[in-house]
Amino acid sequence: MCPLCHLSTLAAMNRRNLLLVLLLGVVIGSIATNYLAPKSQFPRFSQAVTPDMPDVVDVSVAEAEALRTERYAGISTIEEILALPTDFAETEALYIVAGRSDSGGIQDLITQAAKIRSRDDRLAALQILFLRLTELDPKSALAISRTPSFRAYKNHEKAVWVAWGRLDLAAAIDEAKRGTASEKRFAAQALYSAVRGLENEDSELIYAELGMKPGQNARAQHLYALAEQSPADAIRYVESLSSAAEQRKQFGWLAGLLGRSGNPLDASYADLIQSTSSRQQFKQYLSMYSARSDPEAILEKMSSMPMTQANQAQMASALQSLAADDPAKALEYLDQMPESSSLRQYKSSIAMVVAGSDPAMALAWARDNDTSSNQSTLMAVLSQVAQQDPQLALAEAQTLKDVRQRDQLVSTVATHISQTNPEEAMQLLAQVTDKRIRNRTASQIAAVWAQSDFDSAVNWVSSLDVDAQRNALQSMGQNLVYSDLDRATELLERFPGKNSGRLAMQITQSLAEKRGTDAAMSFANRYRDKPEYSELQSVVIGMMANSDPALAMQMARDVENDRSRDQLYARIIGQQAARDPQQALQWMNSISGEKSRSAATTQIARQWYSQDPTAAAAWIGGLPRGNTRDDAIIATISSGRGSDEDFLDLIETVSDPAKRKQVTLMRIQMYLQSDPAEAERLLGEVDLTDQEREQYESMLRGYGYGY
């Protein structure tokens, strides 16, 4: 759907936000035909760009009109664009300036836009420029999106992949294949978004070339597109899915989409669902989401009905919706609700919604409704108030008699303030008396501070006591590993021996994913004479198994520790089994330990059966009777496979009684929805405790089978 269709909702936004919301989506649907791409100009973004653009002084309306008449010929910079006096003029100028620029010019504009201080404005402007650069020079756009200035915000890279996929899917796939395993996964999901659907040749090409199935976002987008055309078709599609868990998940998505439309006719679609349990669940979801379209009507209706669990959920959904629009009225309804332990939880969550729009009102209500012995609602509200009005939350903290609650609230306030003012957060930390809460908060402050001012954060952490310093370094390292690998490595060098093993492991893995196994092994070799070297070496080889199992096997031979080497062999063989089960079988001779050999056997069984059930069943049947063979059968069943006729005889040969029972219960789970009669028959064959039997009979009743 075109983002411009929602412009009527933007009237209350400030001028700068309005401009950049306008900018966010239009280019996606209007890729320019003047494809001016010169030869690739790779980026000049080796260092992060600091958002430090000075305040811009607007030009007059008359001057802006003169510039428009000249098609903004006198404008060439982001500052000049932001100086225009109206939202439309800024939008118009940005498109025109970007549209007439070549790859180098767009890269210069990206450098300028990265200095915009407002995060929302900066991200939106960059999104437009990345889309334009993708039209002109997709390889440069991709490379820049992965540099230190931009890689922390993955939507830039995603926008590049989506635009490139729509321009030239084959070229985009070819580039994605060159990436690391994690880069390939990310690219595949973005490209699924680009092809607008999962039942077409383009999506099949993505899967065939990249080997990645559509993720949750892509699956949800596909379902929503189907539902917009025909909810009945969407229901038939969900019912065609082989996984019962996936069906439940997607029926929830569909109910959310239909429920939010506010159309009472949507409830009739539930009758099209064949499964009784799925139909009932869909109706529950639908009633919950429908409560948000007319919350007051739902609340009036519910006031005279018994408070069942389903009714409570629907009432809570209606109250949350009402709280966002009319906080005072929502609190009035809350006061009319009967007191119970389950409703108390709903009250806290709804009061938190009110706190998001009117902290003082929510706080006053929580004070009046919490007892001195139970202040759960007050604390929940205060945690939300801390985000909206930190000073109000701090003032309230001083009135709390419970020292631990006071410490927790000050900690929450300090954590939120650290995002804009780490120095003030550091001063607040001195008010926290509980050492564990203080250390945890210090870790959170350090992690946030390191993103904006690495040196100051490191200097502060250096002044902490031993326990606080260790926790803070761990928290900083975990964040930096994902946002700035070079800084993470620098942190490790500045604090050698301070829980360095874990951080070194994370850096090694991230290097392998983002920069390749050569870079990761080069880093790991720094630790060749240290105890953690074996683990770092194993990480690199394990990552290599994803792309080149043969080379990984060769590298694994150099691992000195027998147990570690066998575990690596088992992992590599499991990866190879998905490509070439016969080759994986040949590599089994490399494993000396029985436990690792058994693990590799189950991997081969699972992977091979998905490709060639008959051949895999024959191989499993030829294994010697015992634990390894039993585990291979269980592994195949647990993956949702193994229900074919050529596998049923094998199930009867499981030698361990406990494992035979485990296999039978797995089969019952598989048949619960598709063939309840068969599930009942199997239930009669297995020796269960009374409690276990009641559990499975209850499941059968849930699927509409008579008990």
Q: Are 609 and 638 in contact (CB under 8 A)?
A: no
Residue 284 Ramachandran class (φ > 0 left, ψ -120 to 50 alpha, else beta) = alpha
Give the span between the Cα atoms of 304 and 290, in whole angstroms.
19
The type of residue at 47 is Q
What's the confidence (pLDDT) of residue 141? Answer: 94
When pLDDT is cut at 50, 70 and 90, the band that residue 26 belongs to is: very low
Average pLDDT on 642-667 reads 74
Give the helix/strand (H/E) hosting 238. Answer: helix 231-240
What's 692's DSSP letter? H
Q: Are 274 and 258 in contact (CB under 8 A)?
A: no
What's the confidence (pLDDT) of residue 639? Answer: 62
Average pLDDT on 88-103 reads 90
pLDDT digits (tens, 9 = 90+) for 6-17: 322 323 333 333
Helices marked H in 46-200 — which ranges?
61-69, 78-82, 87-100, 103-113, 119-136, 138-145, 155-167, 169-176, 181-194
Residue 498 clears pLDDT 70, i.e. is over it: no
What's the confidence (pLDDT) of residue 147? Answer: 86
When pLDDT is cut at 50, 70 and 90, the band that residue 303 belongs to is: low
Residues with Cβ within 8 Å of 463's Cβ and at least 6 positions away in sequence, in order, are none
Pairs from 543-548 (Cβ < 8 Å, separation ≥ 24): 543/181, 543/509, 543/512, 543/513, 543/517, 544/512, 544/517, 545/571, 545/572, 545/575, 545/576, 546/181, 546/575, 547/180, 547/181, 547/517
Query: What is the chain's mean pLDDT, rounded?
Result: 79
Q: Determine what percent of the chain is predicted with pLDDT higher than 70.
A: 83
What's the confidence (pLDDT) of residue 261? Answer: 64
Give the span between the Cα atoms of 468 and 473, in whole angstroms.
9
What's CA 598's distance to the chain center, in Å? 34
Residue 505 clears pLDDT 90, i.e. is over it: no
What's the confidence (pLDDT) of residue 129? Answer: 94
The type of residue at 619 is W
What's the confidence (pLDDT) of residue 19? Answer: 32
pLDDT digits (tens, 9 = 90+) for 240-272: 887 777 888 888 888 878 766 656 556 678 888
What's the confidence (pLDDT) of residue 22? Answer: 31
pLDDT digits (tens, 9 = 90+) for 430-483: 888 888 998 999 998 998 888 888 888 889 988 888 888 888 888 888 888 888
pLDDT digits (tens, 9 = 90+) for 366-415: 888 766 555 677 888 888 888 878 888 888 888 888 888 888 888 888 88
pLDDT digits (tens, 9 = 90+) for 672-696: 766 777 777 878 777 878 887 777 7
The answer to whether the pTM exceeds 0.75 is no
Q: What is the largest CA-CA distance in the chain?
A: 89
Which two three-digit tokens encode residue 283? 């109706």
Residue 21 clears pLDDT 50, i.e. is over it: no
Average pLDDT on 576-604 reads 87
What's the confidence (pLDDT) of residue 37? Answer: 37
